Amino acid sequence: MMLSRKPDPDQLTLELGPDDELERLIDARVAERAEVQALHWRFRLIVIESVMMASLVLAAGIALEQPTGIVARGAAIVGLGCFVTGLIMIGLTGAVSRLLARWRRRS
């Protein structure tokens, strides 16, 4: 059994407002945090995909007994190309989502 004490009259009362306001505040914070985490995960995936593609090109070139310099350069170009393309896609996704959000606010 839990004993409840009366609050001190000098203590300020905690007024959180209506439940709807509190829910909106919580939802806004959760959405902001989810956006940041989604951006981090997208970046991680791009790095992983770029390294995998470069590794595949490197492995294929070595398996086919091609000159090491050409294979290394090709792998670097493929990895860099994948990375830059992924960054462009992240940027375009963000731009389109902001554009759609503005468009929905106007409607």
List, for residues 62-78, the tens digit of each pLDDT value: 999 999 999 999 999 99
Residue 64 covered by a domain:
yes
List, for residues 50-107, the tens digit of each pLDDT value: 999 999 999 999 999 999 999 999 999 999 999 999 999 999 998 998 899 899 888 7
Domain that holds residue 71: 24-106
In the three-class reduction of DSSP (H, G, I as helix; E, B as strand; rest coil), residue 90 is classed as: helix
DSSP of 38-81, one letter per residue? HHHHHHHHHHHHHHHHHHHHHHHHHHTT--HHHHHHHHHHHHHH
Please give the Cα distance from 39 to 27 (Å, whole number). Answer: 18
pTM of the model: 0.69
Looking at the structure of the chain, the number of domains it has is: 1
